[in-house]
Chain A
Amino acid sequence: MDKILRSIFILLLLNPLIGFGQKKNEVWRYEGPRIGIDMSRFLMPSIHKEIQSGFEIQADYPYKGNFFPTVEAGYQSVNDLKDSFHYTNKGPYARIGVDLNIKQFESLSDNDLVFVGVRYGFSRFAQETLAADFSNYWGTIQTSFPKKYLNAHWGELVFGLKGELLPNFFLGWSVRAKFLLSTTKDLHVTPYVIPGLGYTSSEVPFDFSITVSYRIPLIKTKTMPRPLKSKSTKRTDTDRDEDQENSDPNNTNSNTSGYGNSQY
């Protein structure tokens, strides 16, 4: 219950951001690299009662309108102090992948995304067991295991939303199903948390991220991204007529329907 109340409080803190509208008088469409930070990493210590802390930055860039090649990198540490053991691990991680926007843009000023994506993730991290003990009929053993560097590789399927709340400022979330591909073996400790992947106890760990990001408006354009389905639909004479109208520089109606000029 305590955690739920804390989550509501955090949401209320974020809510003023959401309250601002997207009212724009600008008819240009802006594009450029988007750089963000994953706020959920900061919430981790309060959500997962123990142990995790870290940060993550994300960046993407539009490619052909609906594709967003993405890079994510971060650092995560775990410090788990239990009655019978004390375990730590920490290290950087990175993911590369691509998001595909599955929502059609409604106007030049519409930058909201509904996306699906894939990621390949990699982490090299150090784990150490500072103390471990076990007791049975014959007595008690107390030991520790020194720092060891391990590698992990995994894949992710991503689904999420990104909404432009203020000009060039985006708030988004995503849910992720993760698949551990391989990890270095350790005789004593199989890591139960991997930086960037999360808990390994379930076969398909789920995670989420809440991203606040800023788009650097490098490209100013009147061009609407081509809808995904347009390639597969048959073109008719009417479509050709519309294309000719859109390509006419004297035609002012072409601003919101796309395929116009770009300014850098």
Chain B
Amino acid sequence: MRFRLTSLLFALMLLHSCDNASHCYESSDTLMVTSFNGNTIKMDSILVKGYKRNAVGDTLVSYKDTALIKKVGLPLSLTADSTGFVVYANGRSSTFWLKHTMNLQLISQSCGFAPVYKLIATRHSPMIDSVKVFDPNVDTKSAERYATNGQNITIYLHLTTP
């Protein structure tokens, strides 16, 4: 019995010593998955910036070949209750706003906190035909959830032929 106690105690302590390192293997970015739809007109380029964010480096999305873009991830404001974006497509700009709630939630011990949003309402400029919300819940798993199919919102643009 003493042998068993000693050996198993020893094994247990060794086993417990091999603790997992605390690395973050999850996404801690909260991005609203957004798709753009030009209806029947092909988009030749698209660029997205935050509203009133015109400094160098403030561009969130910039694609020349829009055949490649199906959807993009857009970050939402941490402090305000609404977030605005300016979209440049085929040489025209348009703006849309999203009203939302925000909660900072602990993702995990290793990843820390990240914001979780719920979209409440949308507003847009006349250059945008409509904004359709498919999933109002925006969290750290949104990008993964809609990697192949689906999105949080779709922006339908009024485009003219370039």
Give residues of chain B (112-151) contacting chain A, Cβ–Cβ below 8 Å: 112-115
Q: Verify A173–B115 contact, CB threshold 8 A.
A: no
- Assembly CA distance A165 to B9 (angstroms): 14
- Decide if A175 touches B50 in the complex (CB within 8 Å): no
Q: Which of A82, A83, A137 contacts B50 (CB 8 A)?
A: A137
* Interface: B67 (CB within 8 A): no
Residue of B nearest to A7 (CB): B13
Q: Is the CB of A163 within 8 A of B1?
A: yes
Expressed in whole angstroms, the Cα–Cα distance for A190 and B1 within the complex equals 42
Q: Among the listed stretches B14-22, B33-41, B91-99, B154-162, which one makes contact with chain A, having 4 or more residues with CB under 8 Å of it?
A: B14-22
Whether B112 lies near A85 (C-beta < 8 A) is yes
**What is the CA–CA distance of A172 and B6 in the complex, to the nearest angstrom?**
10
Chain B hits for A11, CB < 8 A? 9-10, 13
Chain A residues with Cβ under 8 A from B1's Cβ?
Answer: 112, 161, 163
Main secondary structure on B side of the interface with A = mixed
Query: In chain B, what residue has the closest Cβ to A112?
Result: B1
| A161 near B4: Cβ-Cβ < 8 Å | yes
Stretch from A60-68, A139-147, A244-252 at the B interface: A139-147
- Whether B2 lies near A192 (C-beta < 8 A) is no
Question: B54 within 8 Å of A by Cβ?
Answer: no
Docked CA distance A129–B103 (Å): 14
- Interface residue from A10, A84, A136 paired with B112 (Cβ < 8 Å): A84
Q: Which of A134, A187, A192 contacts B113 (CB 8 A)?
A: A134
Smallest distance from the beta carbon of A23 to chain B beta carbons, Å? 12
A15-B6, A138-B50, A141-B104 given as contacts; is B78 within 8 A of A4 (CB)? no
Contact of B83 with A by CB under 8 A: yes
- CB of B54 to closest CB in A, whole Å: 14
Task: Tell me the bound Cα distance from A8 to B13 in angstroms.
Answer: 8
Task: Give the nearest-CB partner of B31 in chain A.
Answer: A136
Q: Count the B residues whose beta carbon is within 8 Å of the partner chain — how many?
A: 37
CA distance A138 to B103 in the complex (A): 15
CB distance from A79 to the nearest CB of B (A): 13
- Chain B hits for A134, CB < 8 A: 78, 104, 112-115
Q: Are A175 and B12 closer than 8 Å at their CB atoms?
A: yes
CB distance from B105 to the nearest CB of A (A): 6
Of chain A, the residue at the smallest CB distance from B16 is A47
Output the nearest chain B residue to A3 by Cβ-Cβ distance. Answer: B17
List of B residues within 8 angstroms of A171 by Cβ: 5
* Interface presence of A133 (CB below 8 A): yes
Q: Name A111's closest neighbour in chain B (CB-CB).
A: B1
**Is the CB–CB distance between B2 and A188 below 8 Å?**
no
List which A121-174 residues lie within 8 A (CB) of chain B.
129, 132-134, 136-141, 143, 161, 163, 165, 171-173
For the complex, is A235 an interface residue (Cβ under 8 Å from B)?
no
* Interface pairs A-B: 4 shortest CB-CB: A7-B13, A84-B112, A141-B78, A3-B17
Residues in A lying within 8 Å of B, measured CB to CB:
3-4, 6-8, 10-11, 14-15, 18, 47-49, 80, 82-85, 87, 112, 129, 132-134, 136-141, 143, 161, 163, 165, 171-173, 175, 187-190, 192-193, 201, 208, 210
Q: 22 A-B contacts, Cβ less than 8 Å apart?
A: A4-B17, A6-B17, A8-B10, A8-B13, A15-B6, A18-B6, A83-B112, A84-B113, A85-B106, A112-B1, A132-B106, A134-B78, A134-B104, A134-B112, A134-B115, A138-B50, A161-B1, A172-B5, A173-B9, A188-B106, A201-B108, A208-B12
19 further A-B contacts with Cβ under 8 Å, apart from A4-B17, A83-B112, A139-B79, are: A6-B17, A7-B17, A11-B13, A15-B6, A18-B2, A47-B17, A84-B112, A112-B1, A133-B113, A136-B29, A137-B50, A137-B53, A137-B75, A138-B77, A163-B5, A172-B5, A173-B5, A188-B105, A208-B16
